[in-house]
Amino acid sequence: MQEMTLETMIAVLEEIFGTGLFWSMVAAAALVTAAYLYVLVRDRAMSMRKFLFAQLSMPFGAVAAVLFVLQVTHSSLADIGGPVDAALLLGVAVAGAIGTAILVYTAQSLVRRP
């Protein structure tokens, strides 16, 4: 890699997912984040009950994210060859877990007001 500018990164991500899918995913992520912030501001408090459900969903999100990534890259857990691989896999799991938690919390809040 010669120069890693933001523009190159975006070009790379567009090529991986296709321009349409990449920007839809960005839009979806932005939308969920905005909805999450909206319910937080609206309710003026975190609901611990909803947060509990969100937390319970996290392991499923983590596993699903890892399985998805392994599936689309023709890989298996046996291919983890070094610390950087473990860190990357962990990163995928954490991203999946947090994404799922936010999604589940937001969905509950939108469906049922406190």
Residues that bind other proteins (CB under 8 A): 1-3, 5-8, 10-16, 73-76, 78-82, 84-85, 88-89
Closest contact distance (angstroms) between CB of 111 and other proteins is 33
Min CB(78)–other proteins separation in Å: 7
First and final C-alpha spacing in the chain? 50
Judged by CB, which is closer to other proteins: 91, or 114? Answer: 91
Closest approach of Cβ 77 to other proteins, in Å? 9
- Of the candidates 25, 26, 46, 24, the one whose C-alpha atom is nearest the C-alpha of residue 36 is 46
Q: Quick one: DSSP state of residue 19?
A: H
The residues near 30 (Cβ < 8 Å, ≥ 6 apart) are none
Q: Specify the residue, 70 or 102, whose C-beta has the smaller distance to other proteins.
A: 70
Q: What angle do CA 47, 34, 114 make, to 5 degrees?
A: 25
Cα 97 from Cα 82, distance rounded (Å): 23
Minimum CB separation of residue 66 from other proteins in Å reads 12
Q: Name which of 19 and 38 has its Cβ closer to other proteins.
A: 19
